[in-house]
Amino acid sequence: MSTAPYTIRRSGRARRARIQVSADGVEVVVPKGLPLREVEPFVEEKRRWIERTLRRMREAEAEQPRPRLADGGEVPYLGERLALEVRVEPGRTRPHVARRGERLRVAVGAHGTEPLRDALERWYRRCAREEVAGRLDAAVARASTSYSSLQIRGQRTRWASCSSTGAMSFNWRLLLAPAEILDYVVEHEVAHLDVHDHSRRFWSLLGGRCPDFRQHEAWLKRHGQSLRL
């Protein structure tokens, strides 16, 4: 029985072979010294898990439709769906994105998905700083604590982080999720200002501030891979 198509990537940091299943497909990460003949048996051994993971991703995407990047398409924004109005203006060097109610007007300098995706990501990053900063300031005020800095990033596997010095980092792709998910991730990181690990004390503290945290964690685990442009 054949497995799903996959790509192979060698990594100098990998100590053993591992499989990553994402919206981009199936990738097998292998140590530099691993013979390629060992990859196919390894993938076959994990076939059931790969198929199960891909099936769950398809089901999750059916519940959370992916963005349609084209004129007349739509993108998600904190639980809303924004209709895209795209204009291509040859010679334009800087894209322009402006929201008007439930519409998002985008002007780019070239045809194709990539210029549109790049323009939208820049816009989401700018919006993420405002959306996160307001929630973060309110959350630390409620918790009677403080943070030292805020960064917006685009990590592939992390939604947010809080350093021991209070430096906060959030993934702009959280804006593709419902608003309550972003609210939860903010509360999660603010709780780390008091408890830096995931001990029982941490979850008890978080539960007092966000009683539905298990539900939101489950949503992110199920739908996180689909939060992409």
pLDDT digits (tens, 9 = 90+) for 21-47: 876 788 899 998 888 888 999 998 888
Residues 37 and 150 in one domain: no
Count of the separate structural domains present in the chain: 2
**Tokens found for residue 104:** 């998002």
Structural domain boundaries enclosing 117: 74-226
Residues 46 and 116 in one domain: no
Residue with more model confidence, 58 or 210: 210
- Structural domain ending residue among the three candidates 30, 63, 96: 63
CB atoms within 10 A of CB 188: 22
Alpha-carbon span 75 to 89, nearest angstrom:
21
- Structural domain ending residue among the three candidates 21, 38, 63: 63
Residues 138 and 45 in one domain: no
**Tokens found for residue 174:** 């959280």
Single pTM value for the model? 0.78
pLDDT tens digit sequence for 82-125 = 999 999 999 899 999 999 999 999 999 999 999 999 999 999 99
| C-alpha torsion angle, residues 141, 145, 148, 153 (rounded to 10) | -60
Place of tokens 């985008």: 106
209 found inside a domain = yes
Residues 93 and 162 in one domain: yes
DSSP-derived letter for residue 185 is: H
What b/e string do you get for 112-147 counting C-beta neighbours within 10 Å, with b at 16 or more? eeebbeebbeebbeebbeebbeebbeebbeeeeeeb
pLDDT tens digit sequence for 144-190 = 999 999 999 998 778 999 999 999 999 999 999 999 999 999 999 99
Residues 133 and 213 in one domain: yes
Domain containing residue 128: CATH number:
3.30.2010.10
